Amino acid sequence: MKTQVCIIGGGPSGLLLSQLLHLKGVDTILLEKHSREHVLSRIRAGVLEHGFAALMREAECGERMDREGEIHEGFFIAHDGKLDRVDLHKYSGGSSVVVYGQTELTRDLYEARERMKGQVIHNVEDVTLHDLKSDAPFVTYRDGDKIVRIDCDYVIGADGFHGVSRKSIPKDVLREYEKVYPFGWLGVLSRTKPVSPELIYAKHERGFALCSLRSQVLSRYYIQVPLSDTVDEWSDAAFWEELKRRLPSEVSAKLVTGPSIEKSIAPLRSFVAEPMRYGRLFLAGDAAHIVPPTGARGLNSAASDIYYLYHALIDHYRKNDDAGLDAYSQKALARVWKAQRFSWWMTTLLHSFPSNIPYDNKLQETDLAYLLSSERALGSLAENYVGLPF
Mean of pLDDT over the chain: 96
φ, ψ for residue 204 (rounded to 5)?
Answer: -145, 150
φ, ψ for residue 107 (rounded to 5)?
Answer: -60, -40
Q: What is the pLDDT of residue 283?
A: 98
pLDDT, tens only, 287-310: 999 999 998 888 999 999 999 999
Percent of the chain having pLDDT more than 90?
A: 92
Give residue 375's identity as a one-letter amino acid code: E
Residues facing 257 on adjacent strands: none
Q: What is the pLDDT of residue 45?
A: 65
Q: What is the pLDDT of residue 43?
A: 65
Structure letter (DSSP) for residue 353: P
- Please state which of the ranges 212-216, 334-338, 374-378 shows the lowest mean pLDDT: 212-216
**Strand order from edge to edge, sheet including 138-143:** 125-130, 138-143, 146-151
Q: Are 286 and 160 contacting, i.e. CB atoms less than 8 angstroms apart?
A: yes
d(CA 219, CA 207): 20
pLDDT, tens only, 227-244: 999 999 999 999 999 999
Q: What is the pTM of this model?
A: 0.94
In order of start, what are the domains of the chain with their CATH numbers?
5-72+97-178+269-349 (3.50.50.60), 182-268+353-386 (3.30.9.10)
Residues facing 97 on adjacent strands: 72
pLDDT, tens only, 62-91: 999 999 999 999 999 999 999 999 999 999
Q: Does residue 118 carry a pLDDT above 80?
A: yes
Beta strands in the chain (DSSP E): 5-8, 28-31, 47-48, 70-72, 74-79, 82-87, 97-99, 119-121, 125-130, 138-143, 146-151, 154-157, 175-190, 200-202, 209-215, 218-226, 260-274, 277-278, 281-283, 289-290
pLDDT, tens only, 251-278: 999 999 999 999 999 999 999 999 999 9
φ, ψ for residue 342 (rounded to 5)?
Answer: -65, -45
pLDDT, tens only, 4-58: 999 999 999 999 999 999 999 999 999 999 998 888 887 666 899 989 999 999 9
Neighbours of 82 (CB within 10 A): 12
- Please state, in angstroms and as integers, the Cα–Cα distance from residue 206 to each residue in 225, 260, 313, 352, 362, following that order: 9, 22, 48, 7, 16
Alpha helices in 172-322 (DSSP H): 236-245, 249-252, 298-319
